[in-house]
Structure 1
Amino acid sequence: KFELQSLMEGPDETAIAASLESVCAAIDKVIEDAHSLTFELSNPVLYEVGLNAAVESWLGQHIGKESRLKYEVVSEPRPMKPDVEISVVLFGVIRELLSNVIKHADASMLEVNIQKVDETILVSIEDDGAGFELSKAGLPVKESGGFGLFHVRERVEYLGGRIEIESRPGEGTHIRISVPVQQSTSR
């Protein structure tokens, strides 16, 4: 924006060319970021193979081979494909929680368990990391500085599900999520 404003201030052709080049580079970066975000939000593996494979694929892309964080995804052998909206929202929730482990937990082990029991999807995410003070985890953005678990909890509840969190500083974290396989028609 500043580059474009400077173009309006003077007729210097050299400055105009430099500013336009800078603006084009910024636009290219925005396009690249939008493509990346679109892929993140709409992972093709989720639609093609299912939730289990999408989580495993995402972890493989975001935990480097040199990382000390080792992970295991335990899930049913057959692909799990709940309603599309449930898949997309639940994948976003899981991705957010896994990002928190990668960025903040300083964990060496992470286990993700995804199962279908009757008409419910059960997700368990457990790490041996730093843990955290539960009383500070669900605060609104203004108080905690980020969306954190407040936003995650809202998305799980939107799906008609529940989330339980156990954590203590220095003792790791265990999160359990349960959501229905199909959307309720009452929403």
Structure 2
Amino acid sequence: MTELYQRELLQSQIEIQNHTLQQIAQELHDNIGQLLTVAVMRLNTLEDEVQELESQRSVQQTRELLRTVISDVRALSKTLDYDTVQRFGLLPSLTLELERIQHTGRIQAQLITSGETYSLGDQAETVLLRMAQESINNVLKHASASNLTVSVLYKPDCFVLTIADDGKGFNVGEATARTLDQAGAGLNNLHRRTRLLGGACRVDSNFGEGTRIEIQLPRNQMI
């Protein structure tokens, strides 16, 4: 399979993924968000109808929980929407993603930026965001981590994205050896997409020592 063919295939995958995620984002924002808002309105009415103090408190707590869910759904719909990345760029999209995760209270998440920012192009930044989201999702699902740090470094000649956690770690060699049809083959996808962007991906992890993923791209990447 030639590199040109692989690049064309990646671009096709990006277009399909963006279209699918945009539909999901629209569904979350328009339909799910609207239904949750209606539920809050009904709870407002119910609060006026119940007399017991304990019942009123329960209604209030449920209403606040739903408002939190509404906020999270709106934030999620934005990070899934390709137009958000295209309009605001990679950094604001990563910021929104980490704020959403931080808001859940499951893990301490922070974004560290260094250097003078520049654009890598809409397609490359979209691919980078999806890779970051996939890596972050793996941290949340598997790492049992307390802290997550995403670092973005803008060098004059290259761009470096790092996702690091203090979780339980894993065997990198074993994970890399998995075929694409096996569960947990995401590392191969990270390496493949990074190569097609003209860059390099390094994954360091040991049991009990957390995981560090570093994606480095030349500033003038080719996609």
Partner-residue secondary structure (3-state), 1:153: helix
Distance in 2, Cα, partners of 1:34 & 1:106: 31
Q: Does 1:157 pair with 2:201? A: no
Deviations 1:136-163 (Å, cap 9, x if unpaired)? 2222233x42431111111111101101
Distance in 1, Cα, partners of 2:77 & 2:219: 24
Distance in 2, Cα, partners of 1:79 & 1:183: 15
- 1:51 aligned to which of 86, 90, 115: 90
Distance 1:118 1:93, change over 3 A: same
Distance in 2, Cα, partners of 1:121 & 1:32: 30
Greater Cα offset, 100-109 or 34-43: 34-43
Equivalence for 2:131: 93
Q: What runs of 5+ residues in structure 1 fail to find an aligned partner? A: 1-30
- Indicate the RMSD between aligned Cα atoms, in angstroms: 2.5
Residue 164 of structure 1 deviates from its aligned partner by: 0.7
Distance in 1, Cα, partners of 2:204 & 2:24: 38
Distance 1:178 1:170, change over 3 A: same
Equivalence for 2:58: none
TM-score where L is the length of structure 1: 0.71
Q: Does 1:110 pair with 2:172? A: no
Equivalent residues in 2 for 1:1-187, closer than 5 Å = 35=27, 40-67=79-106, 69-76=107-114, 80-138=118-176, 139-142=178-181, 144-184=182-222
Higher helix share: 2
- Residue type matched to 2:96 in 1? S
Distance in 2, Cα, partners of 1:55 & 1:95: 9
Q: Which portions of structure 1, spanning 4 or more consecutive aligned residues, are displaced by more than 3 angstroms?
A: 31-45, 62-65, 76-80
Distance in 1, Cα, partners of 2:206 & 2:220: 33
Distance in 2, Cα, partners of 1:97 & 1:133: 16
Deviations 1:9-41 (Å, cap 9, x if unpaired)? xxxxxxxxxxxxxxxxxxxxxx65774598554
Percent sequence identity over aligned pairs:
26
Partners of 1:49 and 1:79 within 8 A in 2: no
Q: What runs of 5+ residues in structure 2 fail to find an aligned partner? A: 1-22, 29-75
